[in-house]
Amino acid sequence: METVEQQNKNISKDDRKGLYKTIFSRRDVRNQFLDTPIPDEVLSRILYAAHYAPSAGFMQPWDFLLIRNSETRKKVHAAFTLAHTTASMFPGEKQDACCDFKLKGILDCALNICVTCDTTRTSPVPFDLPHVSTRDTYSSVCTIQNLWLAARAEGLGVGWVSIIDEETLKAILEIPAHVVPVGYLCVGYVSHFLKKPEMENDGWLPRLDIRNLISFDRWHGQPERSEAGILQQLKQDADFPAAAQEGE
């Protein structure tokens, strides 16, 4: 039987550091996009990374709509602007902040990508149905994460447009009724990547302490003495994300 080291021999220490650096330096980009074109070889790599995401029952429910047409993007931007009324739900400073987060990347970035979920793409005998009816959607979310991390590794920013009416978007992009748009993404080169996520940096919400998000064996279950080590290790590693981002 192979040891852990032997099984992992093709992933070097530098590979591992690069992965963590990419994860911790990934950002939801909103206003830093450049109009620099994305070379086909770069776009091909990030699409392959997205396509190799995990999926329940190997159903691969995703499709990728690549949107460069300016008129189509103007329609999407108009739909986003119309839907962007949630700021009125927030009082005072947060209302102003919400308006500031308005995403112009739909028009400014090199490429828009709509990632969808085909709810009919499964085997004749559906895997694990009906226990998790949203497994296909979750699979498409996994592909977005793969795409996002691959894009960051290529020096590309990604912004996820989360405020838009689904039916309006489907009409603009002529998406069939059985297909669900899961994520509308702005993708392109950027002037810079922020040190911290924009909403964290602007005080929208603080970063939660991961130790408060961990339970043992049941909801809010406390650790046995033998399990407490992970909480101590997490405390000790509190600087790990920042250090990894700097490549240390």
At 29 the pLDDT is 92
pLDDT, greater one: 66 or 79:
66
**Confidence tier at 9 by pLDDT (50, 70, 90):** confident
Mean pLDDT for 69-84 is 90
- Helices and strands of the chain, counted as H and E runs: 11, 4
Q: Is the pLDDT of residue 89 over 80?
A: no
Q: Is the pLDDT of residue 33 over 70?
A: yes
Portion of the chain with pLDDT greater than 90, in percent = 65
pLDDT, greater one: 31 or 139:
139
**Confidence tier at 88 by pLDDT (50, 70, 90):** low
pLDDT, greater one: 200 or 243:
243
Mean pLDDT for 181-201 is 90
- This prediction has a pTM of 0.88
Tell me the C-alpha distance between 148 and 50, whole Å. Answer: 8
97, burial (CB in 10 Å: exposed 0-12, middle 13-18, buried 19+): middle
Domain 25-206 is classified in which CATH homologous superfamily? NADH Oxidase (3.40.109.10)
Q: Of the candidates 56, 159, 57, which has an alpha carbon nearest to the alpha carbon of residue 102?
A: 159
At 229 the pLDDT is 94
Helix (H, G, I), strand (E, B) or coil at 30: coil
pLDDT, greater one: 134 or 60:
60
Domain ranges of the chain: 25-206, 208-248
